[in-house]
């Protein structure tokens, strides 16, 4: 039985940085070769980054991707790595963009994979299943492939597939069984959601049973705008046994020796199975030698607690957004409350304290304990702490305009926003806004005030989860013998915007342990009023909450992007009209 040493290169590409991504492939291919690999895999659309969205429509971008692919093949050979087969995702096209006047049926942009060997592109595959749900719009961009590419490598028949091909029954994996392959390679750009790692392994096992073959699943890692990729690459054998699994949220080389069945003599010419063609290619017999010495074992990384997983996702998403967009640092308002405390701790973990500026912006309604909590967090984390009192500026407005009530509350929030944006303009910081998903859902924020900012790390985090994350982060610090970053009083005190005397969030909203389950059902689960009431929620509270959610769409449309961690984040996932008279209560 042949043995192939596989190297799954779980790396962090950047959208649009074709040259930089090609350099990543070269560097990690060298690591794979040094580890004795006989086949190296890189993620979906590795050369361009993923998702490329409307860049697909730029013919210059497609041409650059194709040129870079052939240049990469030559460069790998020049690096002395030509004997190592390398599977890499790239953007291809065999016709004009589908949105152009000269579009051709069945032709256009392709989400593609290419096998590079001996300085050349020896095989290609076009993604068959194109997802068009949630954050995915691939039917808008790509044309589906109709052929399964099978390559013979080291005496083993290997099928090439891409991401969504794994998530759908039938299609390439069913065809792979008919082709008699011993291994299916699946390259991915699979975004993170909480508990998605619990779904992937059973899914990969089902596809292994469907194909009757081992599966090597490689996923990218890192952040791209709202999306964050967690890696979680893995290898299972044909029986579904997990052989190796990579950690989440870090770049990683997973190297593992896999025993595979020898290739059978294929049927001459192309076969047609299940609406797909089977196209066979053969990689040159000049391959890296078979593994000798100790068997390579990739290891199996155990899953972590939900709070640890979410925290890592938020840190990676923020870090990559800041670094890939070349911001030198971030600034945020430190109120002493739980939301800004969690965002500050995330920012310090992501960027280090030297790149984080926290600004206390007290008014006459700011409590002494809130001011003290903000200062205490700054001491614990080491971030750059500043104090900018807003009351003199608010008083100047009030001396020139006749304002009262909620308008004055909003004025305070907007003065704070002006100060943070001024610091951003003056010093180059990215402003982080700190509103959680519960507040965004019900519109509990001031436009151009506390909602101001270029990125929101906790945009997709429910308020009740904010508290859980804070407690977990402090406990994690204690386990490692470090100072917990978040003051205990910030966690324990009742939440308040402190824009009027004695104000509490509960003056305007149901308690969060009542509010969040309703919001989760309505926003994430698409339950209507009847479904929510049937779930045990008070009808009067449901009606009140749903009205707040429905009338706040215009605010959410203007909110900053933020890391997606749930099944349905505001923005790419949940798309509702602003002008909309439908109400669940009639």
The residues annotated as belonging to the active site are 44, 127, 163
Adjacent-strand bridge partners of 385: 358
- Indicate if the alpha-carbon torsion angle 55, 56, 58, 63 is positive or negative: positive
Q: Is 105 helix (H, G, I), strand (E, B) or coil?
A: coil
Diameter over CA atoms, the chain: 89
Kind and range of the H or E run holding 252? strand 252-259
Please say whether the beta carbons of 377 and 486 come within 8 A: yes
- Are residues 85 and 39 in contact, defined by beta-carbon separation less than 8 angstroms? yes
Return d(Cα 530, Cα 586) in angstroms, integer: 11
Contact between 39 and 153 (Cβ < 8 Å): yes
Q: 423, 331 in Cβ contact below 8 A?
A: yes
Strand ranges inside 68-163, DSSP E: 86-93, 109-117, 120-126, 147-153, 156-162
Find the helix or strand (DSSP H, E) in which 244 lies: strand 242-245
Q: How far apart are CA 293 and CA 360, in angstroms?
A: 61
Positive or negative CA dihedral for 380, 386, 389, 390?
negative
Give the residue carrying structure tokens 């040094």: 34
H or E element at residue 491:
helix 488-492
Any long-range contacts for 470-477 (C-beta under 8 Å, 24+ apart)?
A: 470/338, 470/341, 470/342, 470/345, 471/307, 472/305, 472/307, 472/308, 472/311, 473/307, 473/311, 473/342, 473/345, 476/308
What is the b/e burial string over 265-276, where b = at least 16 CB atoms within 10 angstroms of the residue's CB?
Answer: eeeeeebeeeeb
Read out DSSP for 287-341?
Answer: -PPPP-SSPP---BPPP--HHHHHHHHHHHHHHHHHHHTT---EEEE--SSHHHH
* C-alpha span between 124 and 46 (Å, rounded): 14
Backbone angles phi, psi at 368, to 5 degrees: -65, -40
Nearest to 34 by CA among 300, 295, 298, 288: 288
249 and 194 Cβ atoms separated by less than 8 Å? no
* Burial per residue of 288-324, b for 16 or more beta-carbon CB atoms within 10 angstroms, e otherwise: beebeeeebebeebeeeeebbbbbbbbbbbbbbbbbb
């Amino acid at each position: 039985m042949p043995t192939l040493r596989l190297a799954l290169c779980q790396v962090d590409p950047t959208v649009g940085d074709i040259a930089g991504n090609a350099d990543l492939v070269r560097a990690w291919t060298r690591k794979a070769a040094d580890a004795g690999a006989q086949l190296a895999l890189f993620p979906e659309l590795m050369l361009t980054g993923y998702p490329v969205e409307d860049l697909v429509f730029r013919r210059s971008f497609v041409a650059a991707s194709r040129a870079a692919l052939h240049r990469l093949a030559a460069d790998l050979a020049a690096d002395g790595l030509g004997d190592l087969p390398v599977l890499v995702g790239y953007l291809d096209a065999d016709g004009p963009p589908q949105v152009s006047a000269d579009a051709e049926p069945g032709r256009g942009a392709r989400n593609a994979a290419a096998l590079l060997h001996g300085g050349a592109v020896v095989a290609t595959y076009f993604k068959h299943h194109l997802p068009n749900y949630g954050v995915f719009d691939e039917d808008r961009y790509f044309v589906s492939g109709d052929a399964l590419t099978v390559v013979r490598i080291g005496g083993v028949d290997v099928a090439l597939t891409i991401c969504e091909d794994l998530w759908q029954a039938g299609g390439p994996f069913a065809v792979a069984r008919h082709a008699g392959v011993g291994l299916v390679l699946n390259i991915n750009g699979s975004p993170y959601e909480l508990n998605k790692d619990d779904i992937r392994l059973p899914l990969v096992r089902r596809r292994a049973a469907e194909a009757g073959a081992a599966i090597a699943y490689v996923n990218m890692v890192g952040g791209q705008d709202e999306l964050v990729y967690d890696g979680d690459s893995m290898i299972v054998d044909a029986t579904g046994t997990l052989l190796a699994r990579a950690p989440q949220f870090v770049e990683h080389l997973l190297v593992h020796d896999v025993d595979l069945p020898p290739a059978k003599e294929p049927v001459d010419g192309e076969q047609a199975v299940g609406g797909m063609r089977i196209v066979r290619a053969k990689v040159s017999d000049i391959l890296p030698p078979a593994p000798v010495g100790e068997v390579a074992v990739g290891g199996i990384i155990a899953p972590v607690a939900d709070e640890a997983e979410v925290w890592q996702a938020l840190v990676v998403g923020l870090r990559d957004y800041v670094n890939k967009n070349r911001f030198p640092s971030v600034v945020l308002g430190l109120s002493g409350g739980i939301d800004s405390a969690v965002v500050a701790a995330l920012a310090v973990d992501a960027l280090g304290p030297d790149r984080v500026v926290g600004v206390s912006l007290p008014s006459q309604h700011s409590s002494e304990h809130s001011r003290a909590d903000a200062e205490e967090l700054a001491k614990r984390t080491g971030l750059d702490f500043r104090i900018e009192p807003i009351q003199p500026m608010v008083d100047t407005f009030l001396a020139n305009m006749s304002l009262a009530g909620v308008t004055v509350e909003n004025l305070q929030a907007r003065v704070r926003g002006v100060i943070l944006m001024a610091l951003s303009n003056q010093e180059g910081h990215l402003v982080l806004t700190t509103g959680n998903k519960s507040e965004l859902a019900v519109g509990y924020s001031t436009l151009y005030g506390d909602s101001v900012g270029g990125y929101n790390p906790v945009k997709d985090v429910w308020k009740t989860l904010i508290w859980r994350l804070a407690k977990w982060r402090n406990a994690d610090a204690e386990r490692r013998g470090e100072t917990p970053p978040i003051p205990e009083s910030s966690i324990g005190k009742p939440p308040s915007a402190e824009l009027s005397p004695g104000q509490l969030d509960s003056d305007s909203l149901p308690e969060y342990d009542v509010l969040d389950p309703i919001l989760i059902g309505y926003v994430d689960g698409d339950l209507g009023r009847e479904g929510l009431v049937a779930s045990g929620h008070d009808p009067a509270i449901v009606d009140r909450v749903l009205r707040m959610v429905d009338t706040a769409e215009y605010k959410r449309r203007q909110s900053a992007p933020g890391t997606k961690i749930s099944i349905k984040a505001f923005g790419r996932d949940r798309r509702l009209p602003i002008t909309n008279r439908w109400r669940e209560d009639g």
